[in-house]
Amino acid sequence: LSAYHCTTKKGLAADKPCDHSDGRRKAIFGRHTFNFGEDWNYYTIPIIKAINPPNPWINGSYESHDFSMLILQKPANISRTVSPICLPHPNEDFGGKMAVAAGWGRTTTSDVSKRQSPVLKSVWLKV
């Protein structure tokens, strides 16, 4: 699972998602710290497709429907540091409940800093 804005090129007509069928984009597993440019040294699996919500960015910002499900070339090997996440069943309602989001994304807007965190961050958010 990733952010929709990480799977699309901003500025394209209707912010169409990038083509992931070439397998050049990779999911990285089992890391707490991540040094950009050293992915050759990490456990990775190519991403072959991104499935996005039918109406991403309903209100024109990252605050609505900003998610994408990434399809991998093969299943990940489960280990002490790699485990599956739980996804809701269709029509399940989590509105108003708390959920955790995690990643190595930016902690400020791109006009402040283009650097991403090398340490896995997490935050509790209200759905």
Please report, in angstroms and rounded to a whole number, the separation of the first and last CA atoms in the chain: 16
3-24 per-position pLDDT tens digit: 887 787 765 445 566 777 787 8
Judged against a pLDDT cut of 70, whether residue 59 lies above it is answered with: no
Q: Work out the average pLDDT over 42-50.
A: 91
Report the alpha-carbon distance of residue 78 to residue 85 in Å, rounded.
11
Confidence of residue 114 (pLDDT cuts 50, 70, 90): low
Collect all residues with Cβ–Cβ distance below 8 Å to 74 and sequence separation of at least 6.
45
Report the alpha-carbon distance of residue 28 to residue 93 in Å, rounded.
29
Confidence of residue 113 (pLDDT cuts 50, 70, 90): low
> What Cα–Cα distance (Å) separates residue 100 from each residue in 16, 35, 68, 122?
27, 23, 16, 7
Six token digits for residue 113: 């800093």
- Which is more confident, 28 or 74? 74
